[in-house]
Structure 1
Amino acid sequence: MKLTVIGGGSTYTPELVDGFARLRDTLPVEELVLVDPAADRLELVGGLARRIFARQGHGGRIVTTSDLDAGIDGADAVLLQLRVGGQAAREKDETWPLECGCVGQETTGAGGLAKALRTVPVVLDIAERVRRANPRAWIIDFTNPVGIVTRALLRAGHRAVGLCNVAIGFQRKFAALLDTTPAEVHLAHVGLNHLTWETGVRRGGPDGEDVLPRLLAEHGEAIAADVRLPRPLLDRLGVVPSYYLRYYYAHDEVVRELRTKPSRAAEVAAMERELLTMYGDPALDEKPALLARRGGAFYSEAAVDLAAALLGGTGSPYQVVNTLNRGTLPFLPDDAVIEVQAAVGPAGPVPLPVEALDPLFSGLIANVTAYEDLALDAALRGGRDRVFRALLAHPLIGQHEYADALTDRLVAHNREHLAWA
């Protein structure tokens, strides 16, 4: 089995490699190819990756290359974890929206739209080349904004599934609180990428006992602290929102916070410099503890589980993925991309049925889905007016003066990545 990671020079990659090494019985990778245009980073990451495999006794071959076509040739699955513009672009995404009093964040709001506009054309070009190399290859997208990028891939007819680590993070945390194994925890996870709620937590499978009320009653303070929302709000909602809902439920508070501290991009850039120095140490043969602060917790487990299910029918029978709605949420178009539990196998994911949602949640999902449709249109066809329409539709913006000002800033900061600008 050959797997290729696009963006293989990312500091995330040792987390992924560690998962491939530990879980080799679930996903027997014979060749792992790391593709990245940044040859200096790729050399450091690739060296550590080989040492991780060797330490854990994995017999697979690790190849590094800056040649995309060579890297994807014959791949059974391609994982996308690229960042167009790097941390420098992310730094801008997180700062210029604050000038208009709006959240600056790399996956939602105006910053998220900027990332989508930079990313979608690049990903679609990669996907076309993957299709030419192996039409049966699966594309697993971890590149943000996952929902929009996955929707672009699926609309173009690619064999693609979107992946996020939010759900697996909740699964692990709830398992610890319940003193059980993650495999025993089945989430009723519903929404869009980075706009999800845990509406139930069932033990043993989708038909098991719902222990969410118990979790909120006994561990509500800890859960609330984890998602950075007030405990009384969780009690009133009766669900656990992902921490990304804080951008919606506490927008102005978040803006005030972001204006008074360094951006997350600046923190990550400093962390990456330290990590890359560590990766260059020939004695290092395991992922360093610092990597846990970089983000992407449990990404490797989720990626291995998904790839194993798609390629061999092994792995967990149910997984949270980003895939086509196909009537699962009846208030959305069939071609919307939702993030839900699905039965995953070689034919792809099939969403599990979802109970009727409270309008408090379904209304926001419908609104953001409409924004994502407009965002994808702007990413595919370009034009200032399409960018403006997407920003005007976003519930974190919604005022024409803000949308106009943010459109000007978005174009100015991203001109080198926008063919039409």
Structure 2
Amino acid sequence: MKVAVVGGGSTYTPELVDGFARLRHLLPIEELWLVDPDASRLELVSGLSRRIFSKAGHPGRIMTTRSIEEGVSDADVVLLQLRVGGQAARQGDETFPHEVCCIGQETTGPGGLAKALRTVPVVLGIAETVRKRAKPDAWIIDFTNPVGIVTRALLQAGHRAVGLCNVAIGFQRRFAALLDMDHHDISLLHVGLNHLTWELGVGLRTGGTSLDVLPRILDHHLEEIAQEVQLPASLISLQRAVPSYYLRYFYAHDQVLREQRAHPSRAEAVMEVERALLEKYADPALDVKPEELSLRGGAYYSEAAVDLMASLTSDRGDTRVVNVLNEGTLPFLPDDHVIEVPAVIGSGGITVPPVGALPDDIVGLISHVASYERLALEAALHGGRDRVARAMLAHPLVGQHDKAEKLTDLLLAANGEHLAWAT
């Protein structure tokens, strides 16, 4: 099996490689190609990656290239984890919205729109190369944010693609720990859009049956969960569901904005972490992923990626939380929208079981953000200031015309070099 990682120079990559090494019985990788335009980062990341493979006794070869064509040629799976504009662009995403008292975040709100505009055209170009050069049945796995919008762009263009996020697997592991159970015995009713999800049920498998233990978790561990998602326990009790951390931007907007304006941006923190990580990666004696990598984010990313790749290529028919076409699962959304839900994964395709009716307040917020996402994708595909402004106005974190106009101008000023139609 050949796996290509586009964005292979990312400091995330040793986390992924560590998973490939530990879980090689699930995924028989013969060649792992790391693709990245930054030759210096490729050298550091690939050096550590090879040492991780060697220490684990993994027989696979790790190759590097700056060429998309070479990297994806004859690949079975292509994983996308790129960041157009790097951390400097992320810094802009997290700060320009503050000028009009809006949340600055790289995957939602005005910053998320900026990232979508930069990212979608680049990803579609890569995907066309995959279509031409990879194996005919190759899968594209998108870990590039905003995952829901990017995955919909890929599927709309006819690519064999699925989106992946680590939020669900993090909850699965956390709930298993709270219950003192093996995480393999925990399933989630995880529903929504990427970075806009709720855990509506937690299945505990015992004796061949599955029992919903979310009520038990909320009764006994409410305060712990509230602290982890940084939302009030009273909100979780009200909804009788566990919202992801990203719901803070909606349910605690003013508080988050105050915190953001009082502290350095996440991009600044990540840049510092990355500098430290790259220094460690340069150490020829280092042959394990450093503990500091946990500060970079992406917990359980490797496990989620390996499990999904194994399911897609070996027809295991197991259930994973992924980003897929709606196709009637949430009847209040168009069939061609992309949602994040549990799905049965096999080499022949992906099937989404019914999830049942959702509470009206959750339906309302999902519908609102989905409408924004559709307008954001139109702007990313076709450009034009009016399309950007309309998407901006549609986002529930903006919602006012004067703010949308100012934010649109700020976005275009900060991202002109990455938007071909804006030059």
Q: Shorter-chain-normalised TM-score: which range? A: over 0.9
- The equivalent residue for 1:260 is 262
* Change beyond 3 A, Cα 1:31–1:412: same
Residue 159 of structure 1 aligns to which amino acid in structure 2?
A: R
Contact kept? 2:30, 2:61, Cα under 8 Å: yes
Would you say 1:98 and 2:93 are equivalent positions? no
2:240, 2:375 → 1: CA distance?
Answer: 32
Distance 2:295 2:353 in 1: 33
> TM-score, with normalisation over the residues of structure 1?
0.99
**Structure 1 stretches of at least 4 aligned residues deviating more than 6 Å after TM superposition:** none
Deviation at 1:207, TM superposition (A): 6.0
Task: Say what the alpha-carbon RMSD is for the aligned residues.
Answer: 1.0
1:415 equivalent in structure 2: 416
Question: Does structure 1 residue 185 correspond to structure 2 residue 166?
Answer: no
1:6-405 equivalences under 5 Å are: 6-134=6-134, 135-204=136-205, 208-314=210-316, 317-405=318-406
Offset at residue 236 of structure 1 (A): 1.0
Give, in angstroms, the shift of residue 84 of structure 1: 0.2
Q: Distance in 2 between matches of 1:265 and 1:136?
A: 37
Q: Determine if contact 1:184/1:204 at 8 Å carries over to the other structure.
A: yes
* 1:4-58 Cα deviation digits (max 9, x unpaired): 0000000000000000000000111110000000000000000000000000110
Q: Deviation per CA, 1:267-307, whole angstroms, max 9, x where unpaired?
A: 00000000000000000000000001100000000000111
1:340 and 1:352 in contact (8 A); partners too: no
TM superposition shift of 1:352: 1.6
Equivalent-residue separation in structure 1 for 2:111 and 2:335 (angstroms): 27
Which consecutive residues of structure 1, in runs of 5 or more, have no partner in the other structure? none
Conserved? CA contact 2:192–2:340, under 8 Å: yes
| Deviation per residue, 1:125-144 (Å, 9 max, x gap) | 00000000133110000000
Question: Residue 188 of structure 1: SS of its match in structure 2?
Answer: strand
The letter of the residue matching 2:328 is: G
1:312 Cα deviation from its structure 2 partner: 1.2
Distance in 1, matches of 2:350 and 2:413, equals: 39
Counterpart residue type for residue 268 of structure 1: V
Letter in 1 for 2:71: G
For residue 212 of structure 2, give the secondary structure of its aligned residue in structure 1: coil
* Seq. identity, %: 66
Provide the rounded CA distance (Å) in 1 between the counterparts of 2:137 and 2:38: 28
Structure 2: distance between partners of 1:270 and 1:295: 13
**What number of residue pairs does the alignment pair up?**
420
Q: CA deviation at 1:104?
A: 0.1
* Aligned residues of 1:38 and 1:66 also touching (Cα < 8 A): yes
1:363-387 Cα distance to aligned partner (Å, 9 max, x none): 1111111100000000000000000
Instruction: Give CA deviations for 1:386-411 in whole Å, capped at 9, x if unaligned.
Output: 00000110000010001000000000
Q: Distance in 1 between matches of 2:114 and 2:238?
A: 34
Matched residues in 1 for 2:10 and 2:109: separation?
24
Query: Secondary structure of 1:157's partner?
Result: coil
Q: Shift in Å at residue 415 of structure 1?
A: 0.2
Give the deviation of 1:348 after TM superposition. 2.2
Question: Distance in 2 between the 1:278 and 1:348 partners?
Answer: 40
What secondary structure is seen at the aligned counterpart in 1 of 2:215? helix
The aligned amino acid for 1:350 is: T
- CA distance in 2 between counterparts of 1:392 and 1:277 reads 43
TM-score, reference length from structure 2: 0.98
Amino acid at match of 2:352: P
Alpha carbons of 1:231 and 1:325: their partners in 2 closer, same or farther (altered >3 Å)? same
